[in-house]
Each structure stands twice: as structure tokens, then as C-alpha cells.
Amino acid sequence: MDGHNATNGHQEDGHVSINEQSKDQQLDAARVEPGEHLTTNHGTRISDNQNSLRAGARGPTLLEDFVFREKITHFDHERIPERVVHARGSGAHGFFQVYESMAPYTKAAFLQDPAVKTPVFVRFSTVAGFRGSADTARDVRGWATRFYTADGNFDLVGNNIPVFFIQDAIKFPDLIHAVKPEPHNEIPQASSAHDTFYDFISLVPESMHMMMWVMSDRAIPRSLRMMEGFGIHTFRFVNDQGKSTFVKFHWKPLLGVHGLAWDEAQKIAGKDPDFHRRDLWEAIENGDYPEYEFGVQLLAEEDEFKFDFDILDATKIWPEDLVPAQRIGKLTLNRNPDNFFAETEQVAFHPGHVVPGIDFSNDPLLQGRLFSYIDTQITRIGQNFAELPINKPVAPVHNNQRDGKMRYEINKGRVAYEPNSLGGGCPMQSPENLRGYVSYPAQVEGPKVRVRSETFGDHFSQATLFWNSMSTVEQEHIAEALQFELGKVQVIAIRERMIALLARINRDLAVQVAYGIGVAATFDSPPPTDPSNIRKAPGLSMLDTVKDTIKTRRIAILAMDGVDLAELTEIQAALKAAGARSQIVSKFLSPIKSSDGKDIVPDATFITSGGSIMYDAVIVPGGAENADALKRQGDAVHFLNEAYKHGKAIGATGAGANLLAATQIPTPAAEASLQATAAHTPEPSAADVQAVIKQFIAAVAQHRDWNRLKELIPA
């Protein structure tokens, strides 16, 4: 609105700016046909991209070779600093729709109209590992969601675990320094199982609740599509009347919450370190769009102090039986990035990116993150990171911020300040009734002090609540995880301190872990709370999740020459109808012959498939020759033994059941998740086959049978 600006694409001297000419006009002026021709960064076409410019065929490369200089210089500078945490990630585009207006609680525009689809970009990540680390490490998973709303970007930056290790952000550098590879030898990668981490944790008891979550199967998810997400912090909703409601944010996957076996996760890290990244990419490419419901826990301001925990403490949950999570909308991820670096790597989230209707609480961990994130993004990408396409809001941007490295916006006019008259007063401030952001006027008072609130002092009750809420098998997994982690710790005094802290959560757990790591289970003080008086909370056990679908599950069908084509076809059709994706796994990729002489092309081999760890279940079709051939393949026998050890459903039809006899697997009838026809039934009826497939599908839907005698299986 600067009165000195020219209009209609002309500069003040009347000449047309080259930046304002259309691309077609420029091409026409140069008399060049448009097309996918190789060019320099400045548009000059390249005639030879295979050879440097030399002084003679065997002479030195010439410095004047601008094509080479530009190409190699750009390559030398293509990387940006790796994220300090959350370095390894994968992302996806999608949209969000609210189910009904949330106007009684918030004026946030994207939470008002169910007909509006708000664009989103989500980045999932591990925390501790470098960019080249494996997806399946035992670790917290970052879950950052950007809503491109009409009022600007809202970034919900969270994790797949609802609590955090520390209460105050001033401890964050210490936490990360402790969990990262030890600085003297840069070992271990993407693992918390080492001395410096547990030295820190054993001296910071507020971490024990988070430790229980990280030692559970939540830290090794089956898929990014099958894990919950949490905003961690307490935020505020603010409505049009200025009324504030405390809120916590949740993401609930429609496929349920499922995990891997620890042995399986370790093996996948070697076979396919991109396991989660590949799974997300392929699901979207196949049209199996990941879906999550958006949940909110709402708490009236007057109820802020009604519980025996502080709602601003990031090491605490709001138990859902006390504050239910209302599902108010759905997120659908339906498009993969076009360029990993430009989108997934350059996306720059910040919990301070909020919109009218969403505000902060006094959570000290959140307050520190509001500074840290913006500082990190400027260091990593540059001052103008918000102008990159993946970071740019759909809402128009008008401000007086100028210059800095890699400025993309070309601002016109001479006014870059406010207030002003030369630019017609623009850009001008927006009052609240025109969607201007106004911070909630929370009452704050008190002296400036460096202290922790006494209400943040209980570090063990909710850790015990989590432990009590686990099933027996989940408790076994936590104890085994702690034995693995603390068994890697070399300093005995650190192990002993950890056992003392575990005893304040549950003494039986402490005794079990102590025995596994070779230290005495001696306790100096009683638990601060009687564990028998701490109840269980719903929603904490992963065994309570959705178990009525096998949609998107990967099923291996083992087959070799002589397989019964009718049974194979029946299995494939049933699995497809149930929404699963099956693959025929064989010795070679060359066609195999069915029992009636038909060619069948396998999808993978025992070697290229990665083995049973890459699948959710395995089934063997009938055919006596097929079963005999598989029995002579150690890879096939190992495939089944390993699947059994990891709790996966195993099925067989007809003579395929004979293969089970060659394994270490107990009699099929002994377990509901081992579905097979009666042994030695080479020619089952069609009804028999259909019954086995139906039972098999029901077993797959249960995800795992964790109660197997896995110690007996050599896999």
C-alpha cells in the first residue's frame, strides 16, 4: 500500500521488470521450446553433463568450467545440520476434519466446521538416533502435526508417550547429553542402554514414570500407523467469550495400538532399518490411508487443583477414567512427500505456532520449549525458514520482517515499520474481533525464585499406576527390557541406584530386575505409597486396544512346487477381502508349479523377504509335495519357529499342517493362535479349508499370542 509503488507490473521508469514477465513471454523472447532440458541453476541449458571442461583430452580441468563448479559446489552444500533430537523421521501429507463444532470451548477456526478439510503435514521420528539409525530402536517416537489453518499454522508437537522424563526445560540439555552416544567413543548408537543415561536417570527420580513407558512395548511400535500420539503438555482452549478450558491432546489410531517383540525389533533393525518408514510409504501408496481420531481431555479452570497430581506436571498423565478423552475429529494421511529433503527434512515445527483459540499453560517444560524450538530452526535452516514451501502457511503473511539469509519473498516498497503513514498504515494490527491473537489473561503473581513447586514432588505414584495397569505379559516385557538395558550398564553403583528407584514403584519388579543384572535387591526405605492402594487405569495396557480387524496386515504364504492351487487361491481371496496384504514366499523367484501343473510366480524369497519378522502372520497352503519340499528348507522351518517365538498367528490347510511337525512348535491344538486342520489330513473339504482360514483371520486380528513358551524355540 506504499503510494510510491508502481502498479500494473511496471517500475517507476515505465519499464517491465524481468521478474514480472510471464515464463511464456521469457521463453518466447529467447526462442526456446519449453521442456525437461538439463540446465544450470540459472536456466542455461547444458549440452554435456558427462565431461568436465579440460585443456586437451588428458589435460587438467579448467577453473572456468562454470557447469562443473556450480554442480559440485551445490553438492558440497546440500546437507543442512541434522536435528539434535528427532533426526530420523518420515512424513506424510493429509487432512483433518472435526466431527462437530467445538465453539463452546475454543474459537480455533479449524475446529468449527465439519465440512472443512484442513490440510496437515505429519512427521514421525525417533528421538535419540542419528539420521542413519534404525527405525525399530527402543525409543520414544516423535509425532509432530502441522495444521495449515485459515488463521495460520498450528503445530502440535508431541510424542507417542504422554509424559516426559523431566519437569523443567532447563534439564533438557542434560537429558539429551546423557542419552546420546557417549562422547569419548560415540557409542552406542540410538540406544539408551549405557552408563551415562542411567547415571542421569538414577539421580533424577522424576524420570521414573517415563522410564516405565519407554521400557514397555510402546517404545517398539509395530507401525507408525498403529501407535498413539500425545501433545504431552497442558494447553488452553479459549472460546469467543474469553473463557479458558485446560486441554490435553491425543491421537488415537483406528487400527489399534500394537507393538513388536523386542527380539523381533532388534532383528528388523538389521534386515530393514527403514521398516517403519517403508511401511508408512507403502500403505499410502497402496491406498491404505492411515487414520487417527483426535482426542481432547477437557478440564474446567475451576477444577485445576482437584486431583492428587499437578495438571501442569509433564511427568504426569490425566488418567482417562478421571478426565475422559473425547474424540472430536479425524486425521487422514493420504499423500506421500514428493521430495524427502524439501518436505520431511526441511519442515520446521514449533510449539509456539498457535492460532486464536489455543493458548499455553504455565507448564515449565512447555515454556522452555517455546524458546528452544524457534532457536533450533533458525540454526538448522535459517532465519527465513517460514518461507520454505513446506513451512509456509496457507493464510496470507504480512509483516515488516525483512532480509536475512535465503530470503525468498521479494518485498516491495520502502515501508518496513509500524506504525506508518507512507504505506497507508499497512500492515496493521488486527483486533480480537478480526481474528487477532490475544493471549489469555491468566492471573500470575509471586516472587522470582528458582524452585520447583511442591505439587510436582510425587515421582512414583503414577509410575506404579502404569505398572499396575499392565497385563502380566506386559509386566514381563518391562522387566526383560530393564534387564537388557541395565545389563549393559558397567558401573555397579548405577545399577544399584536404579534398583532402589524401581523398588519405590514395585518391589517385585525390583527383585526380578536385580536378579537379572546381578545386584542385590536391598531397599533402604519403604515405598512412598502402598502399591496395593493404587488402582489400575484404563487405556494404559496395549492389550485393551482394537482387535477386530486385520486391515493392512502383511501375511506370508509359504509355498513351493506341489502347492494346492485351490487352497492357495482361497487363502489369498479371503485375506484380501479382510483388508490384509499377502505375499507368496518361496525358495526362488522363478515360477513354482502347483499340484495341477499351473505356474505361480512368488512375490519374495526366504532371503529377500527378510523372514518372518517382516510379516504379521504366516500360513501354509496344502499339497503333500509342497509340505515335503518346505520341510527340507531350513529357511522355511526357521520362518515358522521364529513367527511362533514372536507370538504371531500361524495357519496351515490340508497337508500344509505336516510342515508344523518339522518345527519346534507345540501341537497346533494347544493354542488358539495356531490354526490348522487336523494333522495328516491331506485332502480337506472346501468347508474345512474355509473354517481354518476364518480361524486364522480371527487369530491375526488378536495381533499376538504373548503367552507362548518362546524360550523353547531355537530361533
Q: Active-site residues: which are they?
A: 86, 159
The cell for 115 is 465440512
Pick the closest to residue 473 from 217, 702, 700 (CA basis). 217
Dihedral pair phi/psi, residue 159, rounded to 5° = -135, 180
The cell for 393 is 502457511
Q: What's the DSSP call for residue 345? A: I
Query: Distance between CA atoms of 544 and 294, rounded to whole angstroms?
Result: 19
Hey, is 481 helix, strand or coil?
helix
Query: Distance between CA atoms of 332 and 283, rounded to whole angstroms?
Result: 12
Residue for grid cell 519407554 = 214
The cell for 331 is 486425521
Query: Distance between CA atoms of 293 and 330, rounded to whole angstroms?
Result: 4
| DSSP β-ladder status, 649-652 and 229-230 | unpaired
Q: What's the DSSP call for residue 597? A: S
- Amino acid in the structure at residue 139: D
Please check whether residue 455 is in contact with residue 313, taking contact to mean a CB–CB distance below 8 angstroms.
yes
How many CB atoms neighbour CB 229 within 10 A?
A: 28
Pick the closest to residue 334 from 94, 91, 90, 144 (CA basis). 94
How many CB atoms neighbour CB 657 within 10 A?
A: 25
Hey, is 209 helix, strand or coil?
helix
Hey, is 542 helix, strand or coil?
helix
- Amino acid in the structure at residue 259: G
Please check whether residue 673 is in contact with residue 647, taking contact to mean a CB–CB distance below 8 angstroms.
yes
Give me the helices (H) in 381-410, please: none
Q: Which residues pair with 211 in a beta bridge?
A: none
The cell for 254 is 483406528
How many CB atoms neighbour CB 240 within 10 A?
A: 13
Dihedral pair phi/psi, residue 386, rounded to 5° = -70, -15
The cell for 143 is 509425532
Dihedral pair phi/psi, residue 609, rounded to 5° = -70, -25
Q: Which residues pair with 594 in a beta bridge?
A: 563
Q: What's the DSSP call for residue 493? A: H
User: Is the dihedral angle over the CA atoms 444, 446, 448, 451 positive or is it negative?
Assistant: negative
Cα-Cα-Cα-Cα torsion 691, 697, 703, 708, nearest 10 degrees, comes to: 30
In sequence order, what DSSP letters do the residues of 334-359 get, joined into one string? EE--S-TIIIIIT----TT---TTEE
The cell for 686 is 472346501
Dihedral pair phi/psi, residue 265, rounded to 5° = -60, -40
The CA–CA distances, whole Å, from 173 to 84, 85, 113, 170, 639 equal 10, 11, 41, 7, 44
Please check whether residue 333 is in contact with residue 377, taking contact to mean a CB–CB distance below 8 angstroms.
no
